[in-house]
Each structure stands twice: as structure tokens, then as C-alpha cells.
Amino acid sequence: MTNLSVNVNKIATLRNARGGNVPCVEKVALDCENFGADGITVHPRPDERHIRRSDVFTLRPLVRTEFNIEGYPSEQFMELVLMVKPTQVTLVPDAPDALTSSCGWDVAANFEFLTQIIDRLQEAGIRTSIFVGTDCENIRMAAKTGTDRIELYTGPYAANYPTDPEKAIAPFVEAANVAHSVGLGVNAGHDLSLENLKYFKEKIPNLKEVSIGHALIADALYLGLEATVKAYKECVK
């Protein structure tokens, strides 16, 4: 079974553009769960331009499914997640001013740092995932950090899918197989959409979870939130 985790950052972006609490991040998250989502993802950044620290604390007791917090493991971020104790923390190598997560970790170059972070999270009972590309040696190094899972950065897949789906998916199939062989669970995210998600799910073995925000919220503008969540769930059946 592949879980669908809905990233609600874009809801917070829309709210913050106007001020006030419309749309309400908490209501949207709970609605997504009611419509079939298996988890809720947030990515609080230091400038709080979308999800705020206060949102994370408000959501934690409300979310009934898996709660996934993404972010760069600064000390401020670690303080937050160790207080909140989500189901999963996904570690991304974003700079503080990054627009979005657009690359994975060079695990070898950050091995000691990541290992120490993962130890702290696992001691708190939090499942860990490292955001990576498809380089197989990098994935093997990720396993040595002790992480529970990796999240495959699917931007290149989404970019190449329209012209050559088989070529686009090939490195991700290999990466997933390597991850499975070294005991890692496989998540995936970035630019997955109704156009390319079903094919990705069909081809990737042992896919645990996809985390989708931008495309899902954009589709909801046309289809409505309930229909959109159900359509994405259909893709990962």
C-alpha cells in the first residue's frame, strides 16, 4: 500500500497573502483526512512565509493520520520537531531562502551531521527520512546513517515523463530497488501530479508514501478538494 500525504503549505501561503485565517490550514488538513488522505505534510521554513511554527503546534493534536514535518535540520527546526514529535521527519538540504526543495542530500559529504540528527530523532521515537536523488551509492550511504527511509526527489521524473516515461522512470526503479536491498523504506515527492503519479506508482516497487502539495492544491481549484484528494488516492491504489 502507498500512502498519500497532502502537503498543506500552499494553503498557508494563500492565507498569509491576505492575513487572517482564511483559508484555515487546520480545517483543510482535517478535510483532506476526511476525504481519504493518509497523512498531512508541512514544511516550516525560518521566514514562516507559509507554514508557521504556531501552525505546527496547532495541527499536531488534530491530525489523526500520519504527520510528516519536512525541513532543514537547523537547531531551531530540531527544537520544534522534538517538542511536537510527529510521525516522521523528512530531512531536506534546503538553504533558508530556498523557494522549494529542488535537490537531495549529498549524504557522504554530510554523513556525520545526518547521522547525529537521525540518532536524536530516533531516540525521540520519530521515524526519519532523508531527501535524496537517484544515485545508488548515495542511497547506500543513506542506509549507513541509520535512517528508516529515503524520499526520492522526483523533479527529474516529472520533467521527463511527458516525452519518454520509460526513460524517466528507469533511474527511480533502480534507486528504489537498491534502497529496498539495504533495508530502507521508499517515499517520493516533488512535482508528482495526476498526469504522472499513476505510472510512477505502478513502476516503483515497495513505494511507501508520496507527499504532494503544489499540484494537488492547484488541481483542487478546478476539481474541488474532495474530488482531488480522491483522484490522487486512486492513482496510488
Any idea which residues carry the catalytic annotation?
43, 70, 190
Distance CA 62, CA 72 (A): 24
Query: How many whole angstroms separate alpha carbon 65 and alpha carbon 39?
Result: 5
AA letter at 91: L
Please, what is the Cα angle at 86 between 7 and 80, to 5 degrees? 95
Number of other residues whose CB lies within 10 A of the CB of residue 19: 7
Shortest CA distance to 129 belongs to which of 155, 159, 105? 105
Query: Distance between CA atoms of 9 and 58, rounded to whole angstroms?
Result: 14
